Structure 1
Amino acid sequence: MSMGDTESCSSRVQNSGSNICPKQRLKLQVYNEVLSRLRELNVAEAALPGFEHQLWTHFYRLPTRYALDMNVERAQDVIMHKNLLHMAHDPSTRPALQVRLVQVRSASGVNCNAPHSNSQRKLTSLMSETGLNIQEAHAFSTLDGYSLDVFVVGGWPIEETEKLKYVLTKKIQKLEKQPLFKEIIGSQTAGQEQPRINLISDNVNLPICGNATWEIDARYLKFGKKIASRSFFDLYKGAFCNQNVAIKVLKTENMNENIQREFAQEVYILSKVCHKNVVKFIGSCTKPPNLCIVTEYMGGGSMYEFIQKAVLTLSSLLKVAIDVCEGMQYLHQNDIIHRDLKAANLLMDDKGVVKVADFGVARMEDESGIMTAETGTYRWMAPEVIEHKPYDHKADVFSFGIALWELLAGKQLPYENLTPLQAAVGVVHKGLRPKIPTHTHPKLVQLLNRCWHQDPSLRPEFSEILEFLHHFINTNVGDEGERMQEKGHSPTCASAFEQSCHT
């Protein structure tokens, strides 16, 4: 994933300080210490692309107690644990087991690590039967139903460590064939050995980004008030790990194969993206009947809601536009087309930062760079998309132009006197565009006309738009004092936005 000059996943975690609960903050501290130690040791795996992201995912899925028990001087143990848990997901690499020699209180011991599904008592019995003396035992359950068990044992010749691994592997394989053990394992892993979403057909598979798993146990989600309802999903404010989240729950009564496919695609894309101007993905529940997507809760609401209650000054509008452009530039750099960009899908957090959200119809741009499917919302849709012609990421630039018009026009809807279909016909065949407010700065009029140009090749890239906006704000906008003129808007939200505009 190309990050360019944007922040990485790890830096975003590091900078989230006050927004995370104490337990997560402790995990974060240990994560940073382990990452630094691995780099000091020049561990090869720590230099691979995406490693920081995978390492944080490893800490995130395990309890806080795991971080507390971690000896940073033995940071390489974390890599071993991470890789063992990854192996445990694949039936072909189970049992996932590692045995090595350690020194404990001036006596030789053997460290055995074995992730599995909630069967420590069976493993303890197995080791006793092997003649091992268990000196220490630690069990850490993951969010997706596995357990990382760490034993320190004695009673085995230190020169035969590899033989012990062979013996334990054979005994565990034999143990797994016992009916009770198979029942335990089967109940925990059945959903992971099959496609994640399997309601309609068995060919809808949820891609996984790298080695990371984003599965959340629905039992740990706390649902609050419903904040939106659409044809195919309900949106709730909720909590997960003591942090506020938004929970998008698919409606089972309208479930079909296309909806499943879009759900899987949305989870996949969200799991790949990591930017300060893209809504943060927390995880997902992909095991029927609990199909939901969990993201950070954006307390400021959508920009569509915001402009119904407040009038943006030029400075505030440009701040929003820059936030959106930075998020979209990042998505396009990573070959992602949003395909439904509009004010309703631009969300603001409590600090006034605006982020691109709702990836329900987003897609990865293929190698040819062109697509043909009609998707999005008619009033914001580019003419080539409406006509089912091949299109690329420049369709998002057109939609951005309409979204920017929304911010300028306030409460108005694009082509509000026309039906969506009439508007689409006008856009394609008559070059129809929304009427630009008379008070709009001439330079912004020029930008709008470029963004919604009929010819996609003549529309600017988001990098060009960003350059234009930064130059514009530096040469045309002074210190205006008040950043917005309120019309009965929430003081908390307005204050947060004002603070962001001054930073």
Structure 2
Amino acid sequence: MANRKNKKESSQMGTVEKSSNNDASVTDDIRGAEYYHGMVPRQDAEGFLKREGDFLVRKTEQTPGKVVLALSVRVTDELCRHFMLNMDPATNKFYFEFTHQESTIPDLINWHMSSKTPISAASGAKIRRPMERSPWLINHDSIVANKKLGEGAFGDVFIAELDQGGKQEVAVKTMRAEATREARLRFMKEARLMRKYQHKHVVKLIGVAIHEHPLMIVMEYCPNGSLLSHLKKNKVSAADKLRFTTEAADGIAYLERSKCIHRDIAARNCLLSQKNELKISDFGMSDNKDEIKDEALEKVPVKWLAPETLQEKVFTHKTDIWTYGVLVWEIYADGAEPYPGLTKIQTRAKLVVSDYRMKMPEGTPPLVSEIVTGTCWQKNPEKRSTMDAIHKKLRDFFEAKK
């Protein structure tokens, strides 16, 4: 973030590295280079490199606690190669694969480009075109944190000011520097997924800041907070409850069409914009798959899980539809916890063994109750409708009520 002091990269014998427990900024000459992409995962890096000779430089964790610089190069249509940047302790010069040495990293890159010398003889990989950073890769200096909102799974969440040719208020999720490599990959996966989604009822990703620590996901700011908090603190009208129900269905239907299994749909993970429009958020557990197996089931509260998830530890688009039904129950129950009076163990037993279903709260429109109990909470997942069909029913009902 702004006002952070950039520390010079210290070079160890062999690969150029820095402990991930410290500020992992690289030297100023590489930090400002158009081809430097920060802590971009290998999968993202390869996606950026389209043509033979495209290249970028990134940071990667070689072993736990050891962050190094790597050169990623598109060698053929099917193949990318990744080369560690090294420093010769005898000369204090940089090189790849025991080849030509230069005093600075940019000089080394420029030499390989101008001389057209392969990075290594064995690979034949030549660098031709530096891949510029995408607009969604944000410099830390452009972000100024204003207020801490809370703590997320990876680090703190802030309201911040983003200055990119104009100032705007944003929400920022951070990743602690000491987080594991697996946690960082999950963090970047969340950003990669969010980048694909553009919908008025899904929180918008603005960009990521990954050139140094802390890593950040920068999103649109929803000033009216979580739907759960809003339901608990305010007397919400019947019209607004129906609107929230319809808007959530619209956002989840879009995610279904986008092949996204959210896995954690709940009032706590819906945010409200300045105009109180509902937006689906928190994609930390999401994935673009038709089915997800999760043997642990540690991260999602039991009371939001579908019976097949509890029994088979599986998540699908149909389990998201079940969970949407629980969200609708929350909306009409003014933010109460589902299965009131039951423990997690009791809830699991009643769902799996007794095929129990909650009654919809008093005041729920009959059509909404029928959608939840007759469609979303069908025991057989195949008998649950699509979110598109559910949204269309609710949209027509909502429009007729205006």
Name the TM tier (shorter chain): 0.5 to 0.7
Q: 1:183 to 1:421 in 2, by over 3 A?
A: farther
1:240 alignment partner in structure 2: 162
Measure, in 2, the Cα distance between the counterparts of 1:428 and 1:287.
Answer: 47
Larger deviation, residues 233-242 vs 310-319: 310-319
- Segments of 5+ residues of structure 1 without an aligned counterpart are 1-61, 63-81, 95-175, 187-210, 479-503
Indicate yes or no: 2:292 matched with 1:371. yes
* Contact 2:201-2:279 within 8 A present in 1 as well: yes
1:415 alignment partner in structure 2: 339
Measure, in 1, the Cα distance between the counterparts of 2:265 and 2:149.
Answer: 20
- Segments of 5+ residues of structure 2 without an aligned counterpart are 1-33, 35-48, 57-70, 76-98, 110-132
1:339-488 counterparts in 2 under 5 A? 339-365=263-289, 369-373=290-294, 374=297, 376-449=300-373, 450-475=375-400, 477-478=401-402
Measure, in 1, the Cα distance between the counterparts of 2:329 and 2:72.
Answer: 53
* Contact 2:147-2:159 within 8 A present in 1 as well: yes
1:218-229 counterparts in 2 under 5 A? 218-229=140-151
Aligned AA for 1:182? I
Measured after TM superposition, the shift of residue 217 of structure 1 is 2.0
* Contact 2:261-2:315 within 8 A present in 1 as well: no
Measure, in 2, the Cα distance between the counterparts of 1:266 and 1:403.
Answer: 22
Q: 1:428 to 1:314 in 2, by over 3 A?
A: same
Q: Deviations over 1:428-447 (max 9, x none)?
A: 22223333212222222111
Q: Deviations over 1:148-202 (max 9, x none)?
A: xxxxxxxxxxxxxxxxxxxxxxxxxxxx96733436677xxxxxxxxxxxxxxxx
Aligned AA for 1:335? K
* Contact 1:312-1:407 within 8 A present in 2 as well: no
Indicate yes or no: 2:171 matched with 1:250. no
Measured after TM superposition, the shift of residue 298 of structure 1 is 0.6
* Contact 1:307-1:410 within 8 A present in 2 as well: yes
Aligned AA for 2:245? A
Measured after TM superposition, the shift of residue 309 of structure 1 is 1.6
Q: Could you say what secondary structure the match of 1:311 adopts?
A: coil
Q: 1:179 aligns with which of 102, 107, 111?
A: 102
Q: 1:184 to 1:380 in 2, by over 3 A?
A: farther
Percent sequence identity is 26
Indicate yes or no: 2:213 matched with 1:260. no
Q: Deviations over 1:66-110 (max 9, x none)?
A: xxxxxxxxxxxxxxxx999x945276479xxxxxxxxxxxxxxxx
Q: Deviations over 1:116-145 (max 9, x none)?
A: xxxxxxxxxxxxxxxxxxxxxxxxxxxxxx
Instruction: Indicate the structure with greater helix content.
Output: 1
1:25 alignment partner in structure 2: none
Measure, in 1, the Cα distance between the counterparts of 2:349 and 2:209.
Answer: 40
Measure, in 2, the Cα distance between the counterparts of 1:348 and 1:386.
Answer: 30
Q: If the length of structure 2 is used for normalisation, what is the TM-score?
A: 0.65
Aligned AA for 1:423? T
* Contact 1:361-1:376 within 8 A present in 2 as well: no
* Contact 2:139-2:211 within 8 A present in 1 as well: no
Measure, in 1, the Cα distance between the counterparts of 2:343 and 2:184.
Answer: 29
Measured after TM superposition, the shift of residue 212 of structure 1 is 4.8
Measure, in 1, the Cα distance between the counterparts of 2:359 and 2:150.
Answer: 30
Q: Could you say what secondary structure the match of 2:370 adopts?
A: helix
* Contact 1:236-1:246 within 8 A present in 2 as well: yes
Measured after TM superposition, the shift of residue 257 of structure 1 is 4.4
1:108-127 counterparts in 2 under 5 A? none
| CA-based RMSD | 3.0
* Contact 1:225-1:236 within 8 A present in 2 as well: yes
Count of residues in correspondence between the two structures: 288
Measure, in 2, the Cα distance between the counterparts of 1:225 and 1:91.
Answer: 37
1:150-299 counterparts in 2 under 5 A? 179-182=102-105, 212=134, 214-241=136-163, 242-253=167-178, 255-287=179-211, 289-299=213-223
Measure, in 1, the Cα distance between the counterparts of 2:251 and 2:281.
Answer: 10
Q: Could you say what secondary structure the match of 1:379 adopts?
A: helix
Measure, in 2, the Cα distance between the counterparts of 1:257 and 1:178.
Answer: 30
Measure, in 2, the Cα distance between the counterparts of 1:426 and 1:233.
Answer: 36
Measure, in 2, the Cα distance between the counterparts of 1:314 and 1:303.
Answer: 15
Measure, in 2, the Cα distance between the counterparts of 1:258 and 1:422.
Answer: 33
Measure, in 1, the Cα distance between the counterparts of 2:390 and 2:214.
Answer: 41
Q: 1:444 to 1:87 in 2, by over 3 A?
A: same
Aligned AA for 1:393? H
Measure, in 2, the Cα distance between the counterparts of 1:338 and 1:451.
Answer: 15
* Contact 2:102-2:108 within 8 A present in 1 as well: no
Q: 1:454 to 1:257 in 2, by over 3 A?
A: farther
* Contact 2:140-2:212 within 8 A present in 1 as well: no
* Contact 1:379-1:423 within 8 A present in 2 as well: yes
Structure with higher Rg: it is: 1
Measure, in 1, the Cα distance between the counterparts of 2:158 and 2:250.
Answer: 27
Aligned AA for 1:396? D
Measured after TM superposition, the shift of residue 329 of structure 1 is 1.3
Q: If the length of structure 1 is used for normalisation, what is the TM-score?
A: 0.52
